[in-house]
Structure 1
């Protein structure tokens, strides 16, 4: 599946949150993301990602192992995504390190997630704050087959427009790159 996603800097976080709350109740969660690569940086060099994410929510803590392939749409940064839940994240971290991967970067995201249907698609909208990066971001995504990416991105753009997000607010900058730049890495 392809994660058809657009990300934007939010000029009015409170206003966007109020509009999203009308669509669906939000769920506050804290993501702790650890990205891995081989020592030569081959994954990053080929636009791929390997991540362990632990999500701390109000009712549970869960972890997922995610692999993202190279972009299928450069304008949006949409990528194929394969994800599976893991019961013992410490063991997965140990396995990845044992296989020779190294931690390329780790950081925290503070998120408020909203799940709803728009244009007949299941959508996930996430308001994001990364403590090391200035500003609030909004990600809107839906999972689709590769032949449906363009249409799905049009539907995601419609949601963003309804929320008052302008085209010039869209960004493809990765959190990993922004955090690394902030750290001077």
Structure 2
């Protein structure tokens, strides 16, 4: 499946949160992500991602292994994504490192997840703060097949418009790159 997603750097986070509250109740979550790569960064250069994520919510903690292929849509950065739940994230981290993929970037995202259906599609809208970055972000995603990607992205744009997020707020900036740059500047 492809994660048809658009991301925005919000001009007015409070207004967007109020609009999202019309769709669903938020679930507060903290994501602790470790991205793995070769020593020379070959996965990153190819647009691929290998990540272990720990998600902490009031309901508990879960761990996910995610692999993302290069973007199939340059305008949105939407990528095919493969994800599975982990029972033992430490063992998986050891395996990944033993195979030659050391941790490349670790970051934390403080998230408010809103799950809802609209126009026959299921959406996840996430308001995101990354402590090392200025601003508040919004990610809106739905799942799509490659032949359905344009239609899915149009549906995401419609949700963004309903939330009052205009095209001028959209960004394809990656958190990993922004965090690495922020760390290099400090």
Shorter chain as normaliser: what TM range?
Answer: over 0.9
Instruction: Determine helix, strand or coil for the equivalent of 1:75.
Output: coil
**Alignment deviations for residues 57-105 of structure 1 (CA, whole Å, 9 cap, x no partner):** 0111000000000000000000000000001111111111111111110
Correspondence for 1:78: 78
**1:16-44, CA deviations, whole angstroms, 9 ceiling, x for partnerless residues?**
11111111110000000000011221111
Q: Which runs of 5+ in 1 are unaligned?
A: none
For 1:130-169, list aligned pairs within 5 A: 130-169=130-169
TM-superposed CA distance for 1:115, in Å, is 0.5
Which 5+ residue runs of structure 2 have no aligned equivalent? none
* Partner SS for 2:108: strand
Q: Distance in 2 between matches of 1:3 and 1:119?
A: 17
Aligned to 2:11: 11
Normalising by structure 2, report the TM-score.
Answer: 0.98
Q: In structure 2, what is the equivalent of residue 121 of structure 1?
A: 121
In the alignment of these two chains, the number of paired residues is: 185
Instruction: Give the secondary structure class of the aligned counterpart of 2:22.
Output: helix
TM-score normalized by the length of structure 1: 0.98
What is the distance in 1 between the residues matched to 2:155 and 2:53?
27
**After TM superposition, what 4+ stretches of structure 1 lie above 4 angstroms from structure 2?**
none
